[in-house]
Structure 1
Amino acid sequence: MDELAPRYRAELLHTWVTQLFENLSIPPDDAQIIADTLIEANLRGVDSHGIAQLTIYVRDIQQGQTNIHPNILVVTETPATALIDGDNGFGMVVSVRAMHEAIKRARQCGIAGVGVRQSTHFGAASYYTMMAANEGMIGLAFTNVMPYMAPWGGKSRLLGNNPLSIAVPGGIEGGVVLDMATSKVAWSKMYLLSHAGQKMPLDWALDQDGQPTEDPNEGMAGLMLPVGEHKGYGLALMVQMLSAVLTGAAFDHHIVNWQNIGHFFVAIDVNSFIPYKGFCERVSQLVADLHQSKPLKEGQPIYVPGEIEAQTKQQRLATGIPIEANVVAKLTQLGKEFCVPFPQLTE
C-alpha cells in the first residue's frame, strides 16, 4: 500500500460498508460484522484483506455464491466442541459465531474447538483469534481456501495457501498476533498488484509453465509458492486437515466458487492453566527479552508478530486509512450502483 495515497476516516468507511451491505439486503447485524472485519484489516495495514476485497464479495452475492440469509446451525456438539454448518453464508458472519462458541465453551472446559463447514472466505484470520485474546484467552484459527499451490515437488493445483493465526494476550497492545498464509504471500496481494498494474517479486509464484514470473496475472493463473518450501507445504496440508477434512468441508479441487469452505477455531482459557495476570507478566518478559535482542543492523528494531500491525492501527486511527486511486474508483462505482456515495477524503 502506498502510504501517500489519499486517506479516509475509518469510521466513515465502516458506516459506508455497512450501509452498502444493508442495501444488498444483508441483515444489519451481519453487515456490521462484515464491515468490522474489513476495516480492522485496513487499520492494521493488512490492506489485501480489507475494503479492496469489497467488489469480490459483492460479485459473489450477485452471482448467488454467498447466501445472505444463512441458517447457521450447530450440527454436533459436546461441552468442549461443536461443528457448525454455515449454509454458505458470509465467512465473516459464520466465523464470528464459531469463535463465540469456542470462547463460551472454553470458559466451561478450559479449552474448546469449533469446526465449520459450508462457509465462504472469512477475510483476515487474526480478527477471530483477537476475539479470544480480548477475552483473556489464546485463540487459534485455521481455514482452507481455493487451490493455488501444488504439493511440494508437483505441479497440479491441489492445495490452498491455507492461512492460520494464533493470538496470545499480553506483551504489546492487542497481544502477540501471528497471521500468515502458508504461501510466500497472500493471493490477494497479487490481486491488488494486478489491478494497480504493478509487478511482483520473482519468488512469489510460478506461471502455468512452472517458470518464475513478475506478472501477478500469470502468478494468479499459475502456482503460488509455499513459504519455507516443503515446510510451507506441510503446514498448508495440516491446516486443510483441521479445517476441511475434520469438518466435512470441501478441499482441493472439490472447492467450487468459494463454497463449502472449512474453518477450525480453538480458544484456550489462560486461567485454566495459570492465573491470567501472571501469564501476561510472563508474556511481557518474553517480549522484552526479544526487544532487547541485538539487531543485525544498528538501529533496526526487533518486532514480535502483530506489533507493526498494532502500531499501524494507532497511526491510521489518527490520520486515516490510505486507499489507492484504482481501488477508490471501483468503490466509488459500487457506491453509485447501490446508492451509497463513497466517503470524502479525511481533511
Structure 2
Amino acid sequence: MNKNKLNKIVRNIFIKHGLKTNHAKISSNYIVQAELVGAPSHGLARLKMYCNRIKKKLINPQPKIKIKHISKSISYIDANNAIGFVAADIGIKKAIDSAKKTGIGLVGIKNSGHYGLSSFYAEQAVKNKLTALCFTNAPPAIAPHGAKKSLFGTNPICFGTPSGSKIPFILDTSVSMINRGKIRVAARQGSSIPENVALDKFGKPTTNAKKALEGVQLPIASFRGSGLAWMVDILSGVITGGNHAGKVKDPFDDFSGPQNIGHLFIVMKPNIFVGNSYNKRIKKNIRTVKKLPKIKGIKEILFPGQSKYKRYINNLNKDISIPKNILRDLKELAS
C-alpha cells in the first residue's frame, strides 16, 4: 500500500477513536515511519493494541498535558495518560528547544505509554544539530541477574549525534537479545524465533514465540545486560515518577490500568566543549573506525544508523507490504 494512503487510513482510525487531529497525525506518522525503516514490530502490528487501550479508557484520547518548567534547561511533563507518541513528541521538542537556548535540555515524562522506536526522537535532535540520549522503560520481560522471574522491561537505550554527513549516528538498542515486538509478531504469524534469546516458563530454552512470551527473555551480555536494564528502569521510571520495578503494564494483555511509562530525554549541543571542531572530530572518529581491517565477508564497517537509513531510502518510494492479519485489523478498526 502507498505510504501516504496508509498514513491517511491510520490517522483516520485514530481520529475515529477520539484522538485530536494533530495527535492522530503525530501517531500515524510514527507508525508508518516504523514500517518504512523496516521495524514492523513497532508499526501497524501495534495499532489494534493502541485502539483497544483507548476504547478501555487506558489511553486518554483528549489528554490535558501539563509541563512544569523547573529551569531554563529542565522540564517535567505529566502526560495525563496520553498516547506515548504524543507525550514523547512534546518532550523531545521541549528538550531540543532548551538545548538550543542553554546548551542542554533535560526532560522527564510520567503518565505516558509505549512511544514506538526511541530512534524517532533522537533523530529529531540530530536534525537540529544536537546530541541526544533517550530512555524509556517497558513491561516485565527480563529477569534480574540471579533471579528466575522477569521484572525489567527490554528497556531500550538510544543515542544520537550528528555524524558530519547526511546520515545520523543513531544507536537504538534493546537490552534483550531480541526486542519483544519481534516475538509478538512471530507469535501472531506462527513463526519461530532465533535460538538463545528466550526461555519458556519452566526455564528451558525455546524458539516457540508464544512460549517465549510466557517465559523470560534473555538480556544481552548476561549480568551486564541485566544491569543496563536496571539502569534504564531507574532513569525512566524511578527518577521521572513513572512506574518501575515490574509495575509497567503489558499493553497487549494487562487492562487493569494505564501503563504510566516514564521517559527521559537528555539533549545537548555537541560542540559545547570543543566548539567548531566537533564536525572535524566526529568525521575523523568515524573515518578511523571504517579504515580498520575487516573480517572475511564484511565489505564495509557501518556505524549505528547507516543500515536503518539505507532501508528507509530504499523503502521510501515503495509500497508498504502488509500481512493479511494486519489488513484485517485495519479494515475492522476503520469500519
TM bracket, shorter-chain basis: over 0.9
Q: Note if contact 2:234-2:244 (Cα within 8 Å) is conserved in structure 1.
A: no
Does residue 222 of structure 1 match 2:215?
yes
Residue 20 of structure 1, CA deviation:
1.3
Q: Note if contact 2:161-2:270 (Cα within 8 Å) is conserved in structure 1.
A: no
Residue 76 of structure 1, CA deviation:
5.3
| Rounded Cα–Cα distance in structure 1 between residues aligned with 2:260 and 2:68 | 15
Amino acid at match of 2:153: G
Relative to structure 1, is the Cα distance of residues 208 and 16 closer, same or farther in structure 2, using a 3 angstrom cutoff? same
Q: Note if contact 1:161-1:181 (Cα within 8 Å) is conserved in structure 2.
A: yes
Moved more, 322-331 or 98-107: 322-331
Residue 154 of structure 1, CA deviation:
0.7
- Residue 187 of structure 1, aligned match among 180, 192, 196: 180
Equivalent residue, structure 1, for 2:163: 170
Q: Percent identity?
A: 29
| Rounded Cα–Cα distance in structure 1 between residues aligned with 2:145 and 2:166 | 37
- SS of equivalent residue, structure 1 residue 318: coil
Identify which of structures 1 and 2 has the higher relative contact order when contacts are C-alpha pairs closer than 8 Å and 6+ apart: 1
Equivalent residue, structure 2, for 1:90: 83
| Rounded Cα–Cα distance in structure 1 between residues aligned with 2:286 and 2:317 | 26
Equivalent residue, structure 1, for 2:8: 15
Equivalent residue, structure 2, for 1:106: 99
Amino acid at match of 1:279: Y
| Rounded Cα–Cα distance in structure 2 between residues aligned with 1:242 and 1:127 | 19
1:92-122 CA-to-partner distances (Å, cap 9, x unmatched) read 1001111111111112221121111111111
Moved more, 308-317 or 153-162: 153-162
| Rounded Cα–Cα distance in structure 2 between residues aligned with 1:183 and 1:282 | 32
Equivalent residue, structure 1, for 2:261: 261
Listed as ranges, the matches of 1:111-150 within 5 Å are: 111-150=104-143
Residue 198 of structure 1, CA deviation:
0.2
| Rounded Cα–Cα distance in structure 1 between residues aligned with 2:215 and 2:184 | 13
Q: Note if contact 1:171-1:287 (Cα within 8 Å) is conserved in structure 2.
A: no
- SS of equivalent residue, structure 1 residue 253: coil
Q: Note if contact 1:48-1:189 (Cα within 8 Å) is conserved in structure 2.
A: yes
Does residue 318 of structure 1 match 2:317?
yes
Moved more, 319-328 or 236-245: 319-328
| Rounded Cα–Cα distance in structure 1 between residues aligned with 2:191 and 2:62 | 38
Relative to structure 1, is the Cα distance of residues 151 and 329 closer, same or farther in structure 2, using a 3 angstrom cutoff? same
| Rounded Cα–Cα distance in structure 1 between residues aligned with 2:57 and 2:284 | 50
Q: Note if contact 2:169-2:303 (Cα within 8 Å) is conserved in structure 1.
A: yes
1:24-77 CA-to-partner distances (Å, cap 9, x unmatched) read 121111011101211111111122111221111111111111011111112351
Amino acid at match of 2:74: T
Residue 299 of structure 1, CA deviation:
5.0
Listed as ranges, the matches of 1:34-53 within 5 Å are: 34-53=27-46
- SS of equivalent residue, structure 1 residue 56: helix
- SS of equivalent residue, structure 1 residue 74: strand
| Rounded Cα–Cα distance in structure 2 between residues aligned with 1:117 and 1:86 | 6
Moved more, 283-292 or 234-243: 283-292
| Rounded Cα–Cα distance in structure 1 between residues aligned with 2:211 and 2:298 | 38
Q: Note if contact 1:43-1:321 (Cα within 8 Å) is conserved in structure 2.
A: yes
Amino acid at match of 1:90: I
Residue 282 of structure 1, CA deviation:
2.6
Residue 172 of structure 1, CA deviation:
4.3
Moved over 4 A (4+): none
1:226-285 CA-to-partner distances (Å, cap 9, x unmatched) read 111111111111111111101111113323345211110011112433345x42333233
- SS of equivalent residue, structure 1 residue 84: strand
Amino acid at match of 2:296: K
Moved more, 117-126 or 258-267: 258-267
1:111-146 CA-to-partner distances (Å, cap 9, x unmatched) read 121111111111100001111101110011100111
Residue 82 of structure 1, CA deviation:
1.4
Q: Note if contact 1:170-1:281 (Cα within 8 Å) is conserved in structure 2.
A: no
1:289-346 CA-to-partner distances (Å, cap 9, x unmatched) read 33333221245322111111100001101223232333223323323x2xxxxxxxxx
- Residue 229 of structure 2, aligned match among 223, 236, 247: 236
| Rounded Cα–Cα distance in structure 1 between residues aligned with 2:33 and 2:39 | 8
Equivalent residue, structure 1, for 2:59: 66
Q: Note if contact 1:172-1:307 (Cα within 8 Å) is conserved in structure 2.
A: no
Residue 171 of structure 1, CA deviation:
4.0
Query: Any unmatched runs of 5+ in structure 2?
Result: none
Residue 157 of structure 1, CA deviation:
1.9
Equivalent residue, structure 1, for 2:270: 270
TM norm structure 2: 0.93
Residue 196 of structure 1, CA deviation:
0.9
User: CA RMSD of the aligned region, Å?
Assistant: 1.6
TM norm structure 1: 0.90
Amino acid at match of 2:279: C
Q: Note if contact 2:119-2:170 (Cα within 8 Å) is conserved in structure 1.
A: yes
| Rounded Cα–Cα distance in structure 2 between residues aligned with 1:167 and 1:18 | 28
Moved more, 259-268 or 172-181: 172-181
Does residue 305 of structure 1 match 2:304?
yes
Moved more, 106-115 or 237-246: 106-115
